Structure 1
Amino acid sequence: MIERPITDWLPLTMKEVEKRGWDEVDIVLVSGDAYVDHPAFGTAVIGRIMESEGFRVAIVAQPNWKDDLRDFKKFGKPKYFFGVTAGCMDSMVNHYTANKRLRSNDSYTPGGEAGFRPDYATTVYSKILKELYPDVPVLLGGIEASLRRVTHYDYWQDKLMPSILVDAGADMLVYGMGEQPLREILKLARQGVPFSSMRNINQVAFMHDARTPLADYNDWSTVELASHETCLKDKIKYAANFKIVEVESNKWQANRITQQVGNQVLVINPPFKTMEEAEIDKSFDLPYTRLPHPKYKKRGPIPAYDMIKFSVNMHRGCFGGCSFCTISAHQGKFIASRSEKSVLKEVDEITKHPEFKGYISDLGGPSANMYKMKGKDESICARCQSPSCIHPVICSNLDTSHKPLTELYRKVDANPAIKKAFVGSGVRYDLLVDDFNKNNNDGNHDEYMEQLVTRHVSGRLKVAPEHTADDTLRIMRKPSFKYFKLFKKKYDQIQEKHNLKQPLIPYFISSHPGCEEQDMANLAAETKDLGFQLEQVQDFTPTPMTVAEVIYYSGVHPYTLKPVKTAKTRDEKQAQNRYFFWYKPEYKDWIRNRLNKLNRPDLVERLLGSKTGNSGKTTSSGNYSGRKKR
């Protein structure tokens, strides 16, 4: 650990509070993650924003919630409020695999140790604080609160749950990226305005007594969802609710959403418009130490920090709208890009790190190549209700130029302290295929791809076709697999031109809604034909606030309300997953028997050959070896 004054970090102990000369704390943040003072960690961002606004902030990181509540009491009663987050991941996704098995590690804890946060961490922390300090407001934030802000299906309990505000007993919730609503809350808190009177702020949610009329703020019109109780009785009504929530969450001119929950009403105010360049720069340019707190020195490294400490996040948001992904539900579909100046300043800061050896691990974002992309005519975007800008086709109003990104890569490369700057985030390959992306009028996509392949691939390039079956891909909101083949052809041509051997690493999902067993067998055959031998794959997990989760629970697509078949039993899911591993001897007889029962001898031949012939070996152009948790 680098030696620096302890006051460079936000305080984790009363001793650190006293060293700053404070007699009380204004705001206490409680987080399920260890405290890493870096812009990739939400608690650090929120804490630094509060500090920049003149508030005295302390952090309770990974408190003991089981048998000793002293962690929650160590700073006493804050002057204004408690802020609560489960951390950078939903705590249930953090804890459990798709098969609901408990994970043995936690990347956001020193030493990677598991067991330092509870299940449903946001709710557990909030309830404890409300018992200890019933008169102090509790504000929820982070991805767990954001994705659970309305009635949602919880895969781990296999039931519908109401807004997290109900179970947590908190006063207010900030959803999405929280900088804009947070600054409004801080301004009003300083003026002495109680949380009960902060109901005209965009991008917050709260519970309201159903017996009292709801004030009409900001000329917002209101859309009412089917009540929580109705959803419990009617899965179709629950599915229909989701479409409203997704559409309103991704509009610039959105409506307020309300939902009856018992004798209360959940109120979700419209989101802020996507941050402009100066606003997002302001968050990234705060005085982070970019290091874990020194208290963790003896407990070992924090894996999530080690993964990103030499990386740069250049933008937020994703306009892909994939059915299984939570990024657009939390960060939004519109891209918030940092300025070149801000990105290059962060690169300079990284080069000063004493452990830096000249290699940037990632110049990226949720999708690596969406930097600076936005609508050509913003008035069209303001009216748009589509959850994706590139499905089923690329919007003609979307500026998909890769030129700003190519130029930024080159400026990073020009830094004399940089040996190589890699792109570790997944690349949205369909944006680089001319047959799909008709907006490529000046050839800048080809220029970007040449730059990417020759300068920024660290041994392999990650892309995510996710499936090969068109019916499944339509439900996923992903393009036809034929575009992946065109991309691979283009990629291989560039590699051959420059005498490179950098395998493509394609990501695939099994058991996704709309995928049947034969589809998985065909996926295995198609990827084998392309030279891939897949090693690690992802089984579908229904996470809250996604189209795929709604289909999994309700059995219908929320936009059409038509039935969609989904693998749900353990046997069905295992059967789909096994086809990925056609090359393993222990699965060959099972695959042969299964496909013969399905009357698909053609797939038996493609995958396994004759019973005595083909060994199943391929000349692989890349093994699939690893995937981030979603």
Structure 2
Amino acid sequence: MAFLPTTREEMLAQGYEQVDFVYVLGDAYVDHPSFGAAIITRTLQAFGYSCAILSQPDWHKDEEFLQFGLPRLGFLVSAGNIDSMVNHYSVNKRRRDKDYYTDDGVMGKRPDRPTIVYTQILKRLFPDVPVLVGGVEASLRRLAHYDYWDDKVRRSILMDSQADLLMFGMGENTIVEVADALASGMAVKDICYIRGTVWKTKSLDMIVDEYIMLPSYEEICKDKKTYAKSFLTQYENQDAINAKMLIEPYEGWYVVCNQPPLPLTQEQMDFTYSLPYERTFHPKYHYVPAIEEVQFSITSNRGCFGACTFCAITSHQGRVISTRSVESVVEEAKTITQMPNFKGYIHDVGGPSANFSRPACDKQTTHGACPKKQCLWPKPCSNLKVDHTHYVDMLNAVRALPGIKKVFIRSGIRYDYLMYDKDETFFDQLVKHHISGQLKVAPEHISANALDKMGKPRKELYLKFVDKYYEKNKQFGKNQYLVPYLMSSHPGCDLNSAIELACYLKKIHHTPKQVQDFYPTPGTLATCMYYTGIDPRNMKPVYVAKTYEEKLEQRALMQFSYPKNYDIVYRALKKAHREDLIGSSSKCLIPAKKPRDSFVHRKGAHKR
């Protein structure tokens, strides 16, 4: 199966005078199931709809948007696999040097906020043609949201882009329903009933379903408490079964957010990943760096009931897990083994959380996820079903295939869920077969103040996991490291919390090579805390490190042994009245005087 056409010449060569949809994309075109554009276009193709890909058009040249002519049904617009502002800017709002979703990693091939830019161009050039937006950027900005880069509350991207319809979440079923509606002759303004869509109207007369009226855009801009309450309502209405329609008023308009799409069944998941992807980037490119980590990886599940407050997966994919059959994953693995550049290593079998291979409890598939209760935090729910059996069967089956030397797990293990499993089969298999020298896990912090605002388990459980991990390495004769992902400046993390983490890092002889500062992105509970200074779950104040100095101190404390950080750490410890950590004793973080020579610190992962 060939790549979809990316130029008018390719379209004509494939026998099309006109395509049903032109997909305008902010990324380079990669036909791999880890890329949303590939899934949506291959799904449309499977249901009989033709597509062309207009990838990274020069937004200064109208002719690039005109080259395919008039599509029969409409334009589809996506910024790409990740939000464009995250892709373009670091947490310090500095322009990044590379765009890994562009040929040769070149930066600047797309504008900031391409969903808005591309759509406005298309509406000017094709005023009567439906323009439908989707992807992560649109999905997480479907209603009014705090925008870190502008430091203000922005309107729904549907309003700013002037698109005709927005599709959010994982969109295979949604796009087919929308395509069928357009193909039947229905006007796009009348497509207001499909799950996973957002639309705008000046009148609510046609709405018959139960809905929740959110505060107006003007109201949430004026008052942060109102913003926090509105966000909590949205946060509690993200489950496909329990969620109600949400309506957000604007001056003269209403933005209507329908219920989220239903999670895919196993049969639907298997179908999605059986489509004829080329599994690489279009041959017109030299090399698209984003393919490197995923080309030989397999997505086995979707959704996440972990509910970390800084993560937007719940808002985009939902809390109810969808998983593939063992047979489906094995077939994809067989396909990978036939690729000419495959060298025997499957880089990953997993998803948002690799070891979530079933819904959190039996009732979720029929009753949905609880709107006011989490599955794992602050303690595991009494209804939680901990079972790795399906995932173990999947890994064993893939590992047994001819031509496969090793199957790694790199997409993230939920160590808390792993520790709750009384059957240690998966833990044993993980240590024996699926680690590439080091296992990366995400405790994120050690301080209870920070962890509670992150929605993460307390440190005691992580410390038990560390002990057990090294016990099993010893049991199986392995010498594998453990690398903790840690975050600074998350809401709730004050200077004392940062010092507590630094003391822990000293104890385990670990210096993180890189420090991840909290990045406020649309759609997350933590971003709401960052903007408002309020935890919307209880409406109580929460500490937020916002100044450059506060963030610098928290980052430096995580790398306290670096000579370049001495003055910053010294100042932070003095500010916190922790002079007991300055000196020559074994518990001290830094010496009393700045050393003339560089410290020798242990690099990489910690080991016991």
TM range (shorter): over 0.9
**C-alpha offsets along residues 330-372 of structure 1, whole Å, 9 cap, x if unaligned?**
1111111011111111000000000001011111111111122
Cα distance, 1:25 vs structure 2: 1.3
Mapped to 1, the partners of 2:561 and 2:501 lie a distance apart of 14
TM-score, scaled to structure 2: 0.96
**C-alpha offsets along residues 111-136 of structure 1, whole Å, 9 cap, x if unaligned?**
01110111011000100000000100
Mapped to 2, the partners of 1:499 and 1:341 lie a distance apart of 32
Cross-structure match for 2:201: 208
- Contact kept in structure 1, 2:239 and 2:368, CA below 8 Å: no
Mapped to 1, the partners of 2:91 and 2:588 lie a distance apart of 26
Cα distance, 1:483 vs structure 2: 1.1
Does residue 55 of structure 2 align to residue 64 of structure 1?
no
Q: Which deviates the most, 387-396 or 608-617?
A: 608-617
- Contact kept in structure 1, 2:354 and 2:411, CA below 8 Å: yes
* Structure 2 residue identity aligned to 1:177: M
SS of alignment partner, residue 511 of structure 2? strand
Does residue 458 of structure 2 align to residue 480 of structure 1?
yes
Match of 2:18 among 19, 24, 32: 24
Does residue 46 of structure 2 align to residue 46 of structure 1?
no
- Contact kept in structure 2, 1:250 and 1:387, CA below 8 Å: no
Alpha-carbon distance change, 55 to 585 in structure 1, aligned in 2, over 3 angstroms:
same
Mapped to 1, the partners of 2:254 and 2:95 lie a distance apart of 35
**C-alpha offsets along residues 8-38 of structure 1, whole Å, 9 cap, x if unaligned?**
0110011111112212111100010111111
- Contact kept in structure 1, 2:505 and 2:558, CA below 8 Å: no
Cα distance, 1:533 vs structure 2: 1.7
Mapped to 1, the partners of 2:486 and 2:207 lie a distance apart of 46
Does residue 445 of structure 2 align to residue 467 of structure 1?
yes
Q: Which deviates the most, 387-396 or 537-546?
A: 387-396
SS of alignment partner, residue 508 of structure 1? strand
**C-alpha offsets along residues 80-135 of structure 1, whole Å, 9 cap, x if unaligned?**
11000000000000000000000000110110111011101100010000000010
* Structure 1 residue identity aligned to 2:278: T
Mapped to 2, the partners of 1:269 and 1:613 lie a distance apart of 59
Cross-structure match for 2:589: 608
Does residue 63 of structure 2 align to residue 85 of structure 1?
no
The two structures, once aligned, show a CA RMSD in angstroms of 1.8
* Structure 2 residue identity aligned to 1:340: V
Mapped to 1, the partners of 2:505 and 2:343 lie a distance apart of 37
Cα distance, 1:182 vs structure 2: 1.2
Cross-structure match for 1:170: 163
SS of alignment partner, residue 465 of structure 1? strand
Cα distance, 1:590 vs structure 2: 3.5
Alpha-carbon distance change, 118 to 381 in structure 1, aligned in 2, over 3 angstroms:
same
Identity %: 40
Mapped to 2, the partners of 1:230 and 1:613 lie a distance apart of 52
- Contact kept in structure 2, 1:228 and 1:259, CA below 8 Å: yes
* Structure 2 residue identity aligned to 1:228: Y
Match of 2:430 among 435, 449, 452: 452
SS of alignment partner, residue 38 of structure 2? helix
Cross-structure match for 1:3: none
Alpha-carbon distance change, 378 to 565 in structure 1, aligned in 2, over 3 angstroms:
closer
Does residue 174 of structure 2 align to residue 185 of structure 1?
no
Mapped to 1, the partners of 2:446 and 2:325 lie a distance apart of 37
- Contact kept in structure 2, 1:34 and 1:109, CA below 8 Å: yes
Cα distance, 1:589 vs structure 2: 4.1
SS of alignment partner, residue 591 of structure 1? helix
Match of 2:147 among 154, 173, 181: 154
SS of alignment partner, residue 79 of structure 1? coil
Q: How many residues align?
A: 602
Mapped to 2, the partners of 1:172 and 1:274 lie a distance apart of 21
Matches within 5 A, 1:196-595: 196-209=189-202, 212-217=203-208, 220-296=209-285, 300-378=286-364, 381-382=367-368, 384-386=370-372, 388-433=374-419, 437=420, 440=421, 443-444=422-423, 446-595=424-573
Alpha-carbon distance change, 103 to 609 in structure 1, aligned in 2, over 3 angstroms:
closer
SS of alignment partner, residue 407 of structure 1? helix
- Contact kept in structure 2, 1:246 and 1:387, CA below 8 Å: no
Mapped to 1, the partners of 2:272 and 2:63 lie a distance apart of 32
Mapped to 1, the partners of 2:481 and 2:150 lie a distance apart of 40
Does residue 11 of structure 2 align to residue 8 of structure 1?
no
**C-alpha offsets along residues 573-594 of structure 1, whole Å, 9 cap, x if unaligned?**
1111110111112223442343
SS of alignment partner, residue 292 of structure 2? helix
Mapped to 1, the partners of 2:364 and 2:277 lie a distance apart of 34
Which structure 1 segments of 5+ residues have no match? 1-6, 625-630
Mapped to 1, the partners of 2:205 and 2:34 lie a distance apart of 37
Cross-structure match for 1:622: 605
* Structure 1 residue identity aligned to 2:427: M
Mapped to 1, the partners of 2:593 and 2:254 lie a distance apart of 67
- Contact kept in structure 1, 2:357 and 2:391, CA below 8 Å: yes
Alpha-carbon distance change, 618 to 386 in structure 1, aligned in 2, over 3 angstroms:
farther
Cross-structure match for 1:129: 122
SS of alignment partner, residue 287 of structure 2? coil
**C-alpha offsets along residues 481-538 of structure 1, whole Å, 9 cap, x if unaligned?**
1111110100001111222221111111111111111211110111221232211110
Cα distance, 1:329 vs structure 2: 0.9
* Structure 1 residue identity aligned to 2:74: F
**C-alpha offsets along residues 305-343 of structure 1, whole Å, 9 cap, x if unaligned?**
122101111111111111111111111111110111111
* Structure 1 residue identity aligned to 2:305: F
SS of alignment partner, residue 339 of structure 2? coil
Mapped to 2, the partners of 1:94 and 1:335 lie a distance apart of 27
Which structure 2 segments of 5+ residues have no match? none
Does residue 110 of structure 2 align to residue 117 of structure 1?
yes
Alpha-carbon distance change, 612 to 162 in structure 1, aligned in 2, over 3 angstroms:
closer
Mapped to 1, the partners of 2:149 and 2:320 lie a distance apart of 31
**C-alpha offsets along residues 250-293 of structure 1, whole Å, 9 cap, x if unaligned?**
25132100010110000000113211101111111111111211
Mapped to 2, the partners of 1:226 and 1:513 lie a distance apart of 25
SS of alignment partner, residue 573 of structure 2? helix
TM-score, scaled to structure 1: 0.93
- Contact kept in structure 1, 2:171 and 2:261, CA below 8 Å: no
